Amino acid sequence: MRSIAALQAAVTAAAPFEGEPSDAELDAIDREMPLILADVDLLDAQIMTIDRTPTELDERRIRRARRRVLAARRALANTATAGEVA
């Protein structure tokens, strides 16, 4: 019986790992950072209510965090669209 791993290595050519992100990848991360931070805030708000019943303050915190995520997604989509038009 032949090993599948040996066959897959011959079929799939992996790009060499350089160990550092490229400038384009770093720029993409910088553009998406507001959305990433908004997602983290939403997760924090949701995690705080995992083991208890959410209070009115918790519900408002989650709603605000969801609105920030949506606003960040909209801003990112608008900047991407504006870049294509220009």
From first to last of the 86 residues of the chain, give the pLDDT tens digit: 566 665 555 556 666 677 888 999 999 999 999 999 999 999 999 999 999 999 999 999 999 999 999 999 999 999 877 766 55
> CA-to-CA distance for 79 and 32, rounded, in angstroms?
11
- Domain assignment present for residue 4? The answer is no
Number of domains, the chain: 1
Does the residue 55 lie in any domain? yes
Q: What pLDDT score does 72 carry?
A: 97
Residue-range definition of the domain harbouring residue 62: 21-85
In angstroms, rounded to a whole number, what is the distance separating the alpha carbons of residues 74 and 2? Answer: 51
Please report whether residue 49 resides in a domain.
yes
Asked if the structure places residue 76 within a domain, the reply is yes
The pTM is what? 0.70
- Is 3 a domain residue? no
Report the C-alpha gap between 58 and 78 in whole angstroms: 30
Model pLDDT, residue 18: 72
For every residue of 9-54, DSSP letters joined together read HHH--PPPP-SS--HHHHHHHHHHHHHHHHHHHHHHHHHTTTTS--
